[in-house]
Chain A
Amino acid sequence: MDWMSRVHNAFSDAAYHPDDSVVEELTQHAKAVYEAARADGCTPDEADRRVDVLLETWRLEADALRHRSRRLPAVAPPPVTTPTTAVARFAGFAGDLRYAARLLRRQPRHALLTILTLALGIGATTVLFSVTYGVLLKPLPWPNAERLVVLKETRGGSAPRFGDFTNAAYLAWREEASTVESLAAWSQRIVTLTGVGDPERIRITAATASLFPLLGVRPLIGSFFEARNETSPVVVLSEGLWRQRFNADPAVLGRHLDLDGEPYTIVGVLPDAAAYPNRQARAVVPFSVRPAAGNHLSLFSAIGLLRPGVTPAQAVAEGTARGRFAADTGMTTMAIFGSNGPVAIGAQPLREALTTGVRRPLIVLLVAVGLLLATATANVAGLQLARTTARAREMAIRAALGAGGARVTRQLLVESLLLGLLGGAAGISCTLVLHSVLRSVLPADFPRLDSVGVDAAVLAFALGVSVASSVAFGLLPVWHVRRLNLVETLAEDGTAPVGAGVRTRTARARRLIISAQVAIACILLVGASLLGRSFMALLTADRGFDPAAVLSARLAMPAAIYRTEQQRFGILEELLDRLARIPSVTEAAFTSELPLTPGGSTSAFNLTSAVAGGATVRVQASPRIVSPRYFSALRINIVAGRGFSDLDRDSSEPVVVVNQTFARRYLGDAPIGARLPTGAYARPDEQSRAWTVIGVVEDVRYVTATGISQPEMYYSYRQMGGRLPVQTVTVLARTAGAPRAVATALRAAVREADARLVADVVVPLEERLLTSLAQPRLYAVLLGAFASCALVIAAVGLFGVLSYSVSQRTRELAIRAALGAGRGEIVRLVLRQGLSVTLVGIVAGMLASTWLTRVLSTQLYGVTAHDPLTFVLVPLVLLAVGTLACVLPARRAAQLDPQRTLRGG
């Protein structure tokens, strides 16, 4: 009798029969005791007796020989019988689900990797979908939204320098409109709110009474103003301001608050959900469109409500026709439009107008994140396929026991579904976390941010994506299993034939997946690189001024508080003096216009032009009032003549500095000494004074790097007769160190110059620049993040496939090594396999990129869609990452011990 049977027999009548591994261990112990006894000189009988004593004591303690392993017991697969009733079918499904869950528990690392990969893909896709859905697809909050059109006016094809619509065209159309039910006009401005707690600078909307009925909104409490009190000092609070400042008190109606020092009576509260044009406005005051009498032209934004059944094109035709009867405002029209041509009206559906700038980037990003999800799903498919290959024997046995193809398919799909849903749940958690930071990440000027949220539609999308991706990655293993050859799989002894794992269909499928992943990573990297380089180009673009080390602050001196222009002049002069005395401030200056902000003033006049051969031309130019040190503070180059000096005063000759565009367009070769017939901001009694051009400065692109330079005229504030004819200025301080460090000193200097004066938006100029570039930066960062994820996913996938392939080919590689292949050759073999897959992906990706990047071309600045650097660097990066992913498996292959491998160890 052999030893094992002897030990088994010893337990035949014991209370508990130990399991096989315990018996095996005890057998070895018994055998060792026997051999030790023999070695001590015992006879075989004596030695056997010792063993029998031992066995007897074990038998008595049999109950204590339970093996208390912490390992999970083997999982029994669900039964393979075919269900006949619906209940049985459901029970079968539940069984599959339980089995799948237990399989996952047994392989926690695999499950975790899969779920994390899916969570990343599903989370990112869901976030982007929620933004796209909220911004582009969700119904607008106004009942009449589908009939609302945003109106724009042009003259002779030129858009106005600021605003969208003139009072002249508005009134001409409103009188006898037949295509639109009503028109509304609005504009926004920043005012100081006082009279209710701490003073605060807030944005308000000034709107015609027609705006609210046109949108179809109702007040939360109180009423909106009507056409007859468009000139009364009444105010409608936003819901936010009402809650914040008045604790949502319904008795607020009839109370007063001060805006820029003027008292207003509260008449109603506008619900935030219906706020138009945006939620940044904290209050709405009446706005009356006055006739364009004389040269008075006012500009604002306009919106129209189409009559039912009327198309925007019909409204455009009517608006344009009626606009031709608009009052002639001569020079003012010229100043604002740069043209006196015929009026043309444009009408764009509201939804389109709101999202026009973000539609294409959002769609591009949604496609990009879809590609990321695809590559994540492909990785999971690869992982699942590897697992199925390892489970081929299980599947074959189940098939042999009578499980039909449908039965096995169902079970595999249930497993994938479980993984997909777990990944989806993790993805939704990611989405919720990302949503909490979304508002701080997205630029403040991003349209319709309020409608972005996680709602039923977004959750349904996440669920749909989870199910779709789990079916996608579940189908590959199913396809693999259904092709399994029962006899071959069961006959296989675990030692694969030479070359297996490289040429099978499964291996080919996995290589195809990796190539596709590399291609996707390639496309995303190219896109990210283009947007990144474009952003860098925007950031470093030569704008004609140097924003580095300059602190800027806005100062508002409303006429209601600072009654006279002389008062404002005095305060500002003192402020400049105080700023110049701050130790780290090297230059202090101010300008009447805000750099990096759209809008501004414009003027027009007749000029005898050298360019036009002495004929009279109409000049449109933007006037700016600056302090003498303005050009040096912003490092604006003076290309001809000189800048202002402290000697340019009221008593000296009135002088003006123009920019290059002005000089080129109106003054010709000899701009210095030319005389401009009038000065902007000049007092009526000074209109006849001529201003001499003393210098030409480089064009400055104040708003965007891509903007076309407009003619500009700079005046020194010291030649304004001791007045400051504007109410808002921007103070600039060039500093020796970090500009932020001067902020406190600047605020103090402002307070000291005038106790009521508050420095607003005190930020370094570079930060204003970054804010103005928030959207391109966001797109570049997002696409970069997607590309990095796709790159990592592709690298992990490649690494997995190669590692698996090496483990499958150990026998083949060992034979090669035994036959004399050196380590170098083995490494090269594995590298070749990995790099060929990578190269196929790179070539496919580059080809796709050359075609796909065309959609990005409108988003690019300073680089072309076929940027050579990008198209050289991206393949190199991919190749480097691909090589890195190959190195570890290749090294493992090289370290194989051929003797051991072939002996079957």
Chain B
Amino acid sequence: MLCPYMGMNALARELKRGSTEVLILALLEERDRHGYELATLIDQRSNGAISFHAASLYPTLYRMEGKDLIEGRWVEKAGQRRRRYYRITAAGRKTLASQRSVWGTFFDALNRVARIRHA
């Protein structure tokens, strides 16, 4: 979470990490997806604005899996190699809901102070 005494770099890192998790949870809320699909979608939906490197995707996924927010499993489909699909867990849904409200409050505050708008 955001702490008032964080340095700018720490704040940026925290924001990025927090926002990545929210993004992934939001995407998995729609349906189960594999890693590559997640990477592509984040890139597309933010129009490249969130410069999110694929390098940090898998560490993030594994970390979230360790926290029981998502669950990965190998799925075989006819005529394809097996792929690892991720699905959101009950704990993940709860986190997503609370994060959404935190981010909402944060953007409201930013808006009031700096007139920044979020989509």
Contact = CB atoms under 8 A, between A and B. Distances in A.
Interface of A: 21-22, 24-26, 28-29, 32-33, 36, 54, 57-58, 60-61, 64-70
A70 B66 contact: yes
B58 A28 contact: no
Nearest to B63: A68
Contacts of B14: none
A61 B35 contact: no
B55 interface: yes
Contact of B62 (A29, A57, A68): A68
Given A28-B81, A33-B36, A68 B66 contact: yes
A14 to B, nearest CB: 13
B53 interface: yes
B36 A32 contact: yes
Contacts of B83: 25, 28
B48 to A, nearest CB: 14
B98 interface: no
Contacts of B63: 64, 68
Q: Which 3 A-B pairs have the closest CB atoms?
A: A68-B66, A64-B59, A57-B55
A239 to B, nearest CB: 60
B10 to A, nearest CB: 18
A25 B54 CA distance: 13
Contacts of B53: 57
Contacts of B56: 61, 64
Interface residues of B, number: 20
B65 interface: yes
A893 to B, nearest CB: 23
B105 to A, nearest CB: 30
A67 B61 CA distance: 9
B50 to A, nearest CB: 17
Given A29-B35, A33-B36, A60-B55, A21 B84 contact: yes
B39 interface: yes
Contacts of B68: 70
Given A66-B62, A68-B62, A70-B68, A29 B36 contact: yes
B55 A25 contact: no
Nearest to B74: A21
A768 B63 CA distance: 70
A67 B55 contact: no
Nearest to A35: B36
A823 B35 CA distance: 41
A62 to B, nearest CB: 9
A253 B31 CA distance: 86
B32 to A, nearest CB: 14
Nearest to A55: B55
B55 A58 contact: yes
B36 A28 contact: yes
29 contacts: A22-B58, A22-B62, A24-B84, A25-B35, A25-B84, A28-B34, A28-B36, A28-B83, A29-B35, A29-B36, A29-B39, A29-B54, A29-B58, A33-B54, A36-B40, A57-B55, A58-B55, A60-B55, A64-B56, A64-B59, A64-B62, A65-B59, A65-B62, A66-B62, A67-B65, A68-B62, A68-B65, A69-B65, A70-B68
Given A25-B35, A28-B83, A33-B36, A65 B58 contact: yes
Nearest to B60: A64
Contact of A25 (B40, B58, B66): B58
Contacts of B35: 25, 28-29
B54 A54 contact: yes
Contact of A67 (B36, B62, B81): B62
A26 B58 contact: yes
A26 B68 CA distance: 21
Contacts of A66: 62
A26 to B, nearest CB: 7
B96 to A, nearest CB: 20
Nearest to B67: A68
Given A26-B58, A29-B39, 7 more contacts: A21-B74, A25-B58, A28-B81, A33-B54, A67-B65, A69-B65, A70-B66
Given A21-B84, A64-B59, A65-B59, A57 B54 contact: yes
Nearest to B57: A29
Contacts of A57: 53-55
Contacts of A36: 40
A25 to B, nearest CB: 5
Nearest to B40: A36
A28 B81 CA distance: 9
B81 A61 contact: no
Contacts of B66: 68, 70
A58 B62 contact: no
Contacts of A61: 55-56, 59
A64 B56 CA distance: 9
Nearest to B65: A68
A58 B58 contact: yes
Contacts of B36: 28-29, 32-33
